[in-house]
Amino acid sequence: MSAAPPVVVPPPPVSVVGIGADGWSGLSGGAREALREAEVVIGGARQLDLLPPECAGVRVAWPSPLRPAVPRLLAEHRERRIAVLASGDPMFYGIGRALAEELGPESLRVLPHPSSVSYACARLGWPLEDTEVVTLVGRPASRLAVSLHEGRRLLALSADASTPATVAALLTSHGFGPSRMRVLEQLGSEAEAYAEGVAETWTHAPGDRLNVIAIDCRASADALRLGAVPGLPDEAYEHDGQLTKRHIRAATLGALAPAPGELLWDVGGGSGSIAIEWMRTHPTCRAVSVERDPARADRIARNADRLGVPGLRVVTGPAPSSLSELSELDVPDAVFIGGGLTAPGLLDACWEALRPGGRLVANTVTLESEALLAERYRAYGGELTRLAVAHAVPVGGFTGWRQAMPVTQWSVRKPSAAASLPASAPVPGDRT
C-alpha cells in the first residue's frame, strides 16, 4: 500500500496594513491585531517607527530601490506570518499593487486606511469622484501638464517638500499661473498644516515632505488652449516643418482609434505629434516614436515633456532596421507610418509586427507612396482616403482659400490570420 501524499500547507496570507500619519492610534482593531500577530513586519523606516513595542515581530525596512527587492524579501520570509505596512490605502498608488502582482490577490489580506486623497477631499469639501489625481512620486512633474484645463480641480501627490515649488513653476510656464494652490501636510495627524497661494506668485518655503497639492486650475487670458481630444494647435509643438498638421492629425488619430492600455508605434516621428496625442487620450496609453534624425528625436522628447507625456519612448535610428529590437519587447496595437513608406521592407515589417486585430494607418503626400498605398489597398482592403484642407487667407482686400497639399491615407485592420503583404519594389525619394 503506497503512502499518502504529503499534505501541502499553503503559507499564511500576507497582511497589507494601511497606516496614516496618525500612526497606531488611527488603526482599526483588525489592523492592530494583524500587526501584533506578525512575525515579520516590512515597511518604510518612517512607518515602522510608528509601531509600539507590543508589535514584537522582526522589523524589516524596505531598501532602495524598493520594487526589485519585493520578490527577495517575500521569499526570504514567506513561511512566517508577514505584515506589510503601506501609506494610507495600499491599493491606491501603494505597495499593494506590487504585492498582488508578485503573490496574486488571493494571497493577500488588505486592510486599508483612508488615503491622503480622501483626507484632502474631506478637508477641501471636494467631491472625490470629480477630482483628478496625479501622482508625482517617482514620476516627472511634467506629467501634470496633460491634466491642466480651466476650472478643473486636481490633487497632485508630492514626491517631497520641493514638489509644490516645482508645480507652481510648471503651472506658470503653461499659462496657468493664476491657479490657486493649497499644500496640505501630514494629513490625518495632529501636525496637520497647510499653505495657500497662487502659482505665479508662490513664495512658500518647503515644508513637510508628506504633502498633497490641491490645484484649482485657472488659465491666464493668453494661455494656449489645449483640448482633451486630438487635434492640438500646431503652435503647441516645436518643429522644423515636419509636423502632421492639426486637421490631418485629428483625422489620423480617429483612424488609429486609441484605447486605454494600448501601444502605438509612430514610425517617422517628425515632431512626435501623433504619438504625443495618442498618449494624451488616456494615462495608460503607451507609444514609441521612431525617428532617424537625432535633432528631431531630441525635439520629440521636448514636445512630449512639455505636453504632459514624458513617458513617450523615442528611438533614434532608421526604419525598418530600428524596429527589430522593438518587436522583441512588446507587440504594438497600432502602427502609424508618417514617413519612409518607400523604404525597402518598412511596410512589411510594420505589418508583421502588428498584433492580430491591430490597426495600421499610413499617410503620404507623394505620388510614389500613394501608388504603393493604392496597391496595398487593392490587395488588403481597409479604407483609402484623400484628406484635403483649405484655409481662408487674405487676397488683396478680399479673402480666398489656400489649399494645403492633399494627404492620402490608408487605414486597415490586421485580420486574425493575416498573410504577408505583397512585396513591392522600392521607390526612391521618400523620407524614412
Helix (H, G, I), strand (E, B) or coil at 171: helix
Cell 525619394, located at residue: 429
> Which stretches within 204-267 are classed as H helix?
246-256
User: pLDDT 10s digit of each residue in the chain, 432 long?
Assistant: 566 666 656 788 999 999 999 999 999 999 999 999 999 999 999 999 999 999 999 999 999 888 899 999 999 998 899 999 999 999 999 999 999 999 999 999 999 999 999 999 999 999 999 999 999 999 999 999 999 999 999 999 999 999 999 999 999 999 999 999 999 999 999 999 999 999 999 999 999 999 999 999 999 999 999 999 999 999 999 999 889 999 999 999 999 999 999 999 999 999 999 999 999 999 999 999 999 999 999 999 999 999 999 999 999 999 998 888 786 678 999 999 998 898 999 999 999 999 999 999 999 999 999 999 999 999 999 999 999 999 999 999 999 999 999 999 999 999 986 555 555 444 333 433
pLDDT of residue 429: 38
pLDDT of residue 414: 95
pLDDT of residue 427: 39
pLDDT of residue 261: 96
> Which stretches within 240-360 are classed as H helix?
246-256, 273-280, 294-306, 323-327, 346-353
pLDDT of residue 1: 53
Model-level pTM greater than 0.85?
yes
**Of 430, 388, 390, 383, the residue nearest 407 (C-alpha):** 388
> Which stretches within 200-310 are classed as H helix?
246-256, 273-280, 294-306
